[in-house]
Amino acid sequence: MSAISNRILALNTFAFTVCFAAWMINGVLVTFLVNNGVFNWSAVQIGWLLGIPVLVGSVFRLPVGLLTDKFGGRWVMAAILIICAIPMYFLSLANNFTSFLLLSFGFGLAGAAFAAGVAYTSLWFPKEKQGTALGIFGIGNTGAALTTFFAPTILNHLTHSGTNIEGWRTLPKLYAALLLATSLIFVLSTKNKLPSVARSMSQRLLPLKESRVWRFGFYYFLVFGGFVALSQWLIPYYVNVYSLSIVSAGFMAAAFSLPAGIFRAVGGWLADRIGARRVLRWILSICLVCMLFLFVPRMEIQAPGQGVMAVKTGTTVLVSEHEIVVGNDTYSLQSKEGDSSEVTIRFGIHHDQEGFLFLPTTSFHQIPIVNEGEKVEKGQLLAKGVTTIYFQANKWIFSGLVFIIGMMMGLGGAAVYKHISDYYPSNIGTVGGIVGVLGGLGGFFGPIIFGYLLKLSGIWTTCWMLLAVLVSVCIVLQRLAIRAISRNA
């Protein structure tokens, strides 16, 4: 393609990366502020603060897509960058939950830059290359990785490792400055372009009557909404489940969001060559398998095991954790410090083994239940057995599976938009806008639902259970659509 097309694609991708980085700031900032005691927000409040920017960015994708078709991506993208810089700056002055929430509404518009970028980019490339071009544009999702990777370190530097906690207020100012600088570069370096065929509002909205559009939206609800939700949720997940510092958690979360962005370009290339349907089918299957492995939380289960019984009547002479002596008979015990509850299930970090464990491990010990000087009868239980089954969802195994899921979500996002360019080549702004809305809503509802599930169950892995259900629904919807196409062929 021409140099101008490639330049527009590069600048669009850069602007979207900056917008996405700003859109995801609460995932790092809110976690940092809560962990350092600046604000005492509950898991549900945190979920709302993570979700509100995503909601705003999602809801405005449709109108932004329509405005881009009408006025051109150059002006719409620049306007989004400038508008979002204002509440981002004032976030540095927030002192309570309400002000944080309201300002998050404001800079949440940054997420709608996706709809502007998709509509603007598609105008510069022919249909057979739109999958690749939109996939490259989708690399802007790596803005989430940039925030999770660099923002914790910047916060540590600004606060002098926690000694000057008010230094956090500089971070939103830096993001605001970046948004303004990007808007200036974008306006000076791009050229506006409008669709070749003018359409009325009713004509633009006509595809929304088709069930196919909403099915694409549900796919995107999973692959993009799940990506956005996890990009933010994984930071508190690592901090709470694996006791990592927020900086380390940011690095680990970046291992999820970075491949999702990079592989979006690969997904567009694959969709152009082997078909979006085939790509989507494979990524849904792989995601489901990985999520099933993530179901089991770190846990320790204790249950009754084999005990020790007296072989004859007598009086206990000695009782210790290693042996019991009854008369002239000595009973050796397998000892280990533990509690004597019948059945105990504990979720979280309660085990002293931090090695690289893949499969569950078991241990066994016996606990005396008689006292010295006590007369015992033949067959009486002297010590009860306790069997312990321990499963440690090792952080490296966990991160490996998360990496694969992130990669698949990136591929899936590109496949969905290749579907849109195939079926609605002249209406990508509108259809892409509504699909983007539904995808963004997944990012909004995700952290909130994750927070409620965690509060109700106390189990962090409930987020993977929910996502696995959504993957299963997507697989069913795709199979039904394929059968319907086969019957009509």
- Give the 3-state DSSP-derived string for 345-381, with helices as H, strands as E and coil as C: EEECCCCCCCCCCCCCEEEEEEEECCCCCCEECCCCE
Question: 4 φ, ψ to 5°?
Answer: -65, -40
pLDDT at 433: 76
| Cα→Cα distances 124→13, 105, 190, 297, Å | 14, 32, 12, 48
What is Dmax (Cα atoms) for the chain? 101
Q: Give the mean pLDDT of 2-21.
A: 91
Q: For the beta carbon of residue 162, count every other beta carbon within 10 angstroms.
A: 13
Directed axis angle between helix 3-23 and helix 25-35, to 10°? 20
Yes or no: say if 58 and 436 are a contact pair by the CB < 8 Å rule.
yes
Domain-wise residue ranges, the chain: 8-296+395-488, 299-391
C-alpha to C-alpha distance for 403 and 253, rounded to whole angstroms:
9
Residue 229 and residue 46 in contact, taking contact as beta carbons nearer than 8 Å: no
**pLDDT of residue 344 exceeding 70:** no
The pLDDT assigned to 337 comes to 52
pLDDT in tens, 294-327: 887 666 677 787 888 888 888 898 888 888 888 8
Provide the CB-side half-sphere exposure for 284 (13 A, CA).
24
Percentage with pLDDT > 70 across the chain: 89
Nearest to 257 by CA among 111, 399, 428, 425: 399
The pLDDT of 408-430, averaged and rounded, is 80
d(CA 311, CA 319): 16
- The helix (H) or strand (E) run that includes residue 308 is strand 299-309
Give the chain's end-to-end CA distance (angstroms, integer): 35
DSSP summary character for residue 461: T
For residues 241 and 349, the answer to whether their CB atoms sit within 8 Å is yes
- Cβ(39)–Cβ(97) under 8 Å? yes
Q: What angle do CA 131, 417, 263 make, to 5 degrees?
A: 65
The lowest-confidence range among 108-117, 263-272, 403-412 is 263-272
3-state helix, strand, coil in the chain (%, to 5): 70, 10, 20
Query: Three-class SS of residue 174?
Result: helix
User: Which range is least confidently modeled, 71-80, 126-135, 357-366, 405-414?
Assistant: 357-366
Which residues sit opposite 391 in a β-bridge? 299
Position of tokens 């002098």?
Answer: 160
Q: What are the tokens at 392?
A: 């440690």
pLDDT for 352 equals 45
What is the chain's mean pLDDT, rounded?
Answer: 83
Q: Rounded to an integer, what distance in angstroms lies between the CA atom of residue 155 and that of residue 220? A: 32
pTM of the model: 0.68
Classify domain 8-296+395-488 at the CATH class level.
mainly alpha
Domain 299-391, second-level architecture: Beta Barrel (2.40)
- Residue 244 reports pLDDT greater than 60: yes
**What would the pLDDT profile of 149-165 be if each residue is shown by its tens digit?**
888 889 989 988 777 88
What does the alpha-carbon distance between residue 192 and residue 365 come to, in Å, rounded to a whole number? 74
Arithmetic mean of pLDDT, 220-244: 85
20-65: pLDDT as tens digits = 999 889 888 998 898 888 898 887 788 788 878 888 988 888 888 8
Instruction: Select from 452, 65, 79, 95 the least CA-distant residue to 103.
Output: 95
pLDDT at site 174: 96
* pLDDT computed for residue 187 by the predictor: 93
Q: What percent of the chain has pLDDT over 90?
A: 24
In a 10 Å sphere around its CB, with 0-12 CB exposed, 13-18 middle and 19+ buried, how is residue 321 labelled? middle
CB 44 within 8 A of CB 452: yes
Six-digit token string for 85: 């810089």
**Using CB atoms within 10 A of its CB, is residue 256 exposed (0-12), middle (13-18) or buried (19+)?**
buried
Name the helix (H) or strand (E) containing 307: strand 299-309
Count how many Cα atoms sit within 13 Å of the Cα of residue 472 in the half-sphere of its side chain: 9
Position 340 scores a pLDDT of: 43
pLDDT at 489: 54
Tell whether the model's pLDDT for residue 351 goes beyond 60.
no
In angstroms and rounded to an integer, the radius of gyration of the C-alpha atoms of the chain is: 28
- Among 76-90, 283-297, 299-313, 362-376, where is mean pLDDT lowest? 299-313
